[in-house]
Amino acid sequence: MAEAAAAARACTVCAPHLPLGPRPIYQLHARARILVTSQAPGTKAHLSGIPFEDASGERLRDWLGLGRDLFYDPEVLAILPMGMCYPGRLPRGGDAPPRPECAPLWHPRVLPRFENLRLRLLVGAHAIRHVLGPRMPLAERVARYAEALPANFPLPHPSWRTLVWAKRNAWFDTQVIPALRREVARALSD
Ligand code: SF4
């Protein structure tokens, strides 16, 4: 895993498309039990090198029922986004989608190196489509999370927009979050 992580660190494949240049952001260890496949880092993560060090990260940790100590322990939780580098902004606002080169190039090199993976969290529509396929709207996919278990758990991206979405979809807080915490506890139990 260290070898794959070092190779990813040096990646410049889509440099011409990255407004701030390549800076792959990930957290990897072969013994991780939970893998977060998220979208792509924002500017804050690009500058600090630390994933989910923002309000979205706080929300995600709350959903999972994990403190920062476990979340940032690479032997507990790994983070391998769909795009490891900050992809820039869309002309009409909002972050651009993850670079399409990244997951097909790096996921096959990294995923086989996990030795003890018990749960993969698919965070956001890009990760969900990549792993589970494109045929279902995000809300329906999340509502039917049980169909993806025990290997995967589909989730919306924990951005502020999701607060509005969760208000409209009360089942997310009452049913999905408790189930998610149970699955996280299962993944961490011996
Ligand atoms: S986004 Fe992925 S493929 Fe593109 S330069 Fe960064 S690490 Fe390489």
* Domain assignment present for 169: yes
Give CA–CA dist 104/39, Å, rounded: 14
**Predicted model pTM:** 0.94
* Domain assignment present for 70: yes
Give CA–CA dist 38/31, Å, rounded: 19
* Domain assignment present for 172: yes
* Domain assignment present for 189: no
* Domain assignment present for 108: yes
* Domain assignment present for 190: no
Which CATH number goes with the domain that contains 7? 3.40.470.10
Task: Tell which one of 17, 84, 106 to mutate to probe ligand 1, the residue whose CB is within 8 A of the most ligand atoms.
Answer: 84
* Domain assignment present for 103: yes
What is the total count of domains within the chain? 1
Owning domain of residue 83:
2-184
Written as tens digits, the pLDDT of the chain (190 aa) is 999 999 999 999 999 999 999 999 999 999 999 999 999 999 999 999 999 999 999 999 999 999 999 999 999 999 999 999 999 999 888 889 999 999 999 999 999 999 999 999 999 999 999 999 988 899 999 999 999 999 999 999 998 888 889 889 999 999 999 999 999 999 999 7
Task: Tell which one of 9, 12, 13, 105 to mutate to probe ligand 1, the residue whose CB is within 8 A of the most ligand atoms.
Answer: 13
Can you tell me whether residue 169 is helix, strand or coil? coil
Ligand 1 contact, 4 CB (< 6 A) = no
| Distance from the Cα of residue 104 to its chain's centroid | 15
* Domain assignment present for 49: yes
Ligand 1 contact, 111 CB (< 6 A) = no
125 conformational bin, left if phi > 0, alpha if psi -120 to 50, beta if neither: alpha
